[in-house]
Structure 1
Amino acid sequence: MFADAPIHGHRANAPGAAGPGIFTCVDSNGKRLSADRPISECIDREQRVLSGSGTTKRIVGPTLSIAEREAREAREREAALVRQRAQEATRQSRVLLSRYPDKATHDVSRQEALAATQSVIDAANARISELVQERRSLDDELEFYRKDPSRAPATLRRRLESNSESVQQQNQAIADQRAERARINARYDAELERLQQLWLAK
């Protein structure tokens, strides 16, 4: 099989050639080479390792440069990430279907999440109503010092400041909860879009 092929070290049919195997390849000039070790002329291409009977024992890929090896490793890492993302997406889809087998279940969950924020808004509005009543009473007291507000007692001024700060805090709480409601609706809308696809695929 190798009678006409140049041999690096010894001929393919020489004694001892059946040991680790015979490396064979076709170089860049189209010439078939054989040797008892990896062939340097074929470092950039595939080499076959043959047994003494001439059958292929294994195939050795091309030896890559540092840049080529880094590029291959980068491709392998990216492919692994793609597989990992696909597996995670599949897992999340299973969890989503298990949690929300139908639209009614999803709607109930949305309303429960929104109800929690609405209770905070309602409590804040109730507190603001109390603070408005309190402010009217404080303003009535301040009326006695209308001509010279600087003469108002320090306790009255502190209560006025505290009332204003409390109103601001309650308004901020309402704004925060409204923003949270928007986030909740956006999340449930995105889930519903995905679920509708999953329900159809069942």
Structure 2
Amino acid sequence: MIRRLAWMWKASLALTAISTAAWGQSASPTPAGPKIYSCVTADGRRLTSDRPIPECQGREQTLHRSDGTVRAKVAPAKSPEEKAADEVLQRELLAKKAALDDAIRHDRNLMARFKNRAAHDLARAAALDDLDAATGVTQRRLASLAKERKGLDDEAEFYKKKTLPPKLKQALDANDAATEAQKLFLEQQSAERGRVNRRYDLELTRLQKLWAGAPPGSLGPPPSAHESEPPPSAASVSGARR
């Protein structure tokens, strides 16, 4: 009984091996037949070759199987101008894809940072608080310089028709320079406040559409730094004209 079972097991293995080999042979790819190209030249000649036909480089060629049936159509080779145009188009497509990827990434990051309007308002307030603190420092410095200037002017009254002492003149010049610097800081801080508000306004407009269900990247490119600039005030335009 044991010998019979052993024999049956070996026979089963042999049949499995034969079946596997037969399947492998039937599944192996059939070697590709020879390639046959044909075309009609510009002057009407029909040419045939086992490789692409140089005389028909600018014309469509037909690739046949060994039995003569059509396997594929081979498009004409492109001219240098056509290749250059394709390269330009490819660069444009790549640039558009990169811009879309950037917009998608920007929108996803924006939505991850701000889940709702309250979170965005809080971030705006924090950014403005920092600017307000810096502006307060500048204003206090200007007040201190103005007080210092009054004392220097009072002292200079004694020298109306005389040459100012070098030390006093140096102090007046230093006060002027420091005051101008602080005024410039104040202007920059005011401009920065406008930029911050403008940036948060643009973000909020975009976020409201995203919160409403607009897919990330569907709203066009993110606002640039230039778009975040506040419009020039009438005073700055007037100063520029002067």
TM-score range, shorter chain: 0.7 to 0.9
> In structure 1, the residue corresponding to 2:212 is in which secondary structure?
helix
Name the counterpart of 2:166. Answer: 154
Kindly state the Cα deviation for residue 93 of structure 1 after the two structures are TM-superposed.
0.9
Kindly state the Cα deviation for residue 117 of structure 1 after the two structures are TM-superposed.
1.6
Equivalent in 187, 190, 199 of residue 175 of structure 1: 187
Name the counterpart of 2:198. Answer: 186
Tell me: higher relative CO, structure 1 or 2? Use CA pairs within 8 A at least 6 residues apart.
2
Query: Which string of whole-angstrom CA distances, capped at 9 and with x for unpartnered residues, describes residues 128-187 of structure 1?
Result: 1111111111112112222x241x211111111111111111100000111111111221
Kindly state the Cα deviation for residue 23 of structure 1 after the two structures are TM-superposed.
1.7
**Quick check: 1:131 aligned with 2:145?**
yes
Kindly state the Cα deviation for residue 67 of structure 1 after the two structures are TM-superposed.
1.1
Pair 1:168–1:201, CA change in 2 (3 A): same
**Quick check: 1:77 aligned with 2:70?**
no
Q: Work out the CA distance in 1 between the residues paired with 2:59 and 2:85.
A: 17
Q: Give the conservation status (yes or no) of the 8 Å contact 1:100–1:106.
A: yes
> In structure 2, the residue corresponding to 1:64 is in which secondary structure?
coil
Structure 2 residue identity aligned to 1:76: Q
Equivalent in 35, 40, 43 of residue 57 of structure 2: 43
Q: Work out the CA distance in 1 between the residues paired with 2:172 and 2:89.
A: 66
User: TM-score normalised to the size of structure 2?
Assistant: 0.67
Equivalent in 155, 162, 166 of residue 141 of structure 1: 155
Q: Work out the CA distance in 1 between the residues paired with 2:132 and 2:155.
A: 35
Kindly state the Cα deviation for residue 43 of structure 1 after the two structures are TM-superposed.
2.7
Q: Work out the CA distance in 2 between the residues paired with 1:58 and 1:91.
A: 42
Query: Which string of whole-angstrom CA distances, capped at 9 and with x for unpartnered residues, describes residues 16-47 of structure 1?
Result: xx42x012456668987543222345433443
- Equivalent residues in 2 for 1:87-166, closer than 5 Å: 87-146=101-160, 148-150=161-163, 152-166=164-178
Structure 2 residue identity aligned to 1:191: E
Kindly state the Cα deviation for residue 70 of structure 1 after the two structures are TM-superposed.
0.7
> In structure 2, the residue corresponding to 1:49 is in which secondary structure?
strand
Structure 1 residue identity aligned to 2:107: S
Two-structure CA RMSD over aligned residues (Å):
2.4
- Equivalent residues in 2 for 1:47-62, closer than 5 Å: 47-54=61-68, 57-62=71-76
Query: Which string of whole-angstrom CA distances, capped at 9 and with x for unpartnered residues, describes residues 85-110 of structure 1?
Result: 11111111111111111111111111
Structure 2 unaligned residues grouped into runs of 5+: 1-32, 215-242
Q: Work out the CA distance in 2 between the residues paired with 1:192 and 1:127.
A: 35
Deviates more, 1:25-34 or 1:66-75: 25-34
Kindly state the Cα deviation for residue 54 of structure 1 after the two structures are TM-superposed.
4.4
